Structure 1
Amino acid sequence: MIIWLNGGFAAGKTTLARELHGRLPDSLVFDPEELGVALWKWVPPNDDFQDLASWRELVVATASALRRHHAATVIVPMSLVRDAYRAEILGGLAAAGEDVLHVFLDADVDVLGARLRDRMPPPVLPVSGQSPLDWALSRLDPTAGARQPEGTVVLRSDRLTPAELADEVLAASRRRVDSAR
């Protein structure tokens, strides 16, 4: 299974990915951001590597290959708040025959903003000239949780601890496996 952890910046995706990885012995964590940074070595950097069709295509191929060849479970902590990109990537994984549990970590925008302000800036600066903080804040979407596709597990990361979130994700994955039998 691929467990896709979606949500706004600072929603807790990476923290939850570490918690799940520690509980799932045959799992690995795949961070698609690393593909975006690698692509920028070969193509002109833009303001968001998710806008590159090649990035979206590589994410599908890489996640699927990692799951097929290296781990029973691939955990992917990556924001996909643009509806079209989310549909393209999750649809591509489904078309490749992958079972994807899509989890959206929802949180109050004020909580996400405070978490972002407490962080160190990301190593990659936006091409637009915005500060990394302003760039990240401009991409927070308070309505994203309500627009997730059917079957998405929506969890409040501002109300649950990482351990509680992991419990919910693992329970949802067990239900999914049981219903497929």
Structure 2
Amino acid sequence: MIIWVNGAFGSGKTRLVDELHRRRPDALVYDPEQTGFVLRNIVEVPTGDFQDLPLWRSQVAGMAVDLVRAYGRPVLAPMTLVDPGYAEEIFGALEAAGVKAHHFFLDVSARTLEARLDARVVAPGDPERDELARRWCKAQIARCLAAAETLRPGTVRLDGERPTGELADEVLEYLA
């Protein structure tokens, strides 16, 4: 089983996955962004967004399937995925492989996202890189919020403005 936590940058995906993992230590945490970082070191990413690479999408689906099959444990995946075609490609591959994927989307207002991103530090000691990352994430807010209207059927929308513990309760209750 894969538990995919989706939402805009700053919506609390990683925080929620960390809390779910604390409560379900048997689960594996797989961050598809790491696959993107690896690919970025190997090949050119013409658009700047590794999700545009078909190889990223196939690798993400393949890794998730292999983790479930090899270890027989739930996989927690925090990843912003807003292009409906890319989501269909990844989730379709999971379904074709017989792996159940639960898709959760954190709904968070633009104002809250901006405040969270302003408070985020991604590159300690490198304020220039930090600001570049912050600007890029903020530039994605409108696109991420619009994606909430094109989510796959069966996606569970969560109020990401609520405390993380309550969200984890809701996810675990849904999965029970």
Fold shared per TM-score above 0.5: yes
Assess if the C-alpha contact under 8 Å between 1:3 and 1:75 holds in 2.
yes
* Matched ranges for 1:98-137 at <5 A: 98-121=99-122, 131-137=132-138
The number of equivalent residue pairs is 167
Write out per-residue CA displacement over residues 69-103 of structure 1, whole angstroms, 9 at most, x where no aligned residue.
Answer: 12420000000011111111111111111101100
Over the aligned positions, Cα root-mean-square deviation in angstroms equals 1.6
Amino acid at match of 1:172: Y
Query: Which residue of structure 2 lines up, in the alignment, with residue 21 of structure 1?
Result: 21
Shift of 1:57: 0.3
Q: % of aligned pairs identical? A: 43
Assess if the C-alpha contact under 8 Å between 1:27 and 1:71 holds in 2.
no
Query: Which residue of structure 1 lines up, in the alignment, with residue 90 of structure 2?
Result: 89
Query: Which residue of structure 1 lines up, in the alignment, with residue 79 of structure 2?
Result: 78
Query: Which residue of structure 1 lines up, in the alignment, with residue 11 of structure 2?
Result: 11
SS of the aligned residue for 1:115 comes to helix
Structure 2 residues without counterparts, runs of 5 or longer: 125-130
Runs of 4+ in 1 over 4 A off after TM superposition: none
Q: In 2, distance between residues paired with 1:122 and 1:36?
A: 18
* Matched ranges for 1:39-78 at <5 A: 39-46=39-46, 47-78=48-79
Shift of 1:105: 0.6
Write out per-residue CA displacement over residues 25-81 of structure 1, whole angstroms, 9 at most, x where no aligned residue.
Answer: 421100011111111121124411111110100000000101111242000000001
Q: In 1, distance between residues paired with 2:83 and 2:155?
A: 15
Query: Which residue of structure 2 lines up, in the alignment, with residue 169 of structure 1?
Result: 171
Assess if the C-alpha contact under 8 Å between 2:95 and 2:101 holds in 1.
yes
TM-score normalised by L of structure 1: 0.87
Assess if the C-alpha contact under 8 Å between 1:28 and 1:71 holds in 2.
no
TM-score normalised by L of structure 2: 0.89
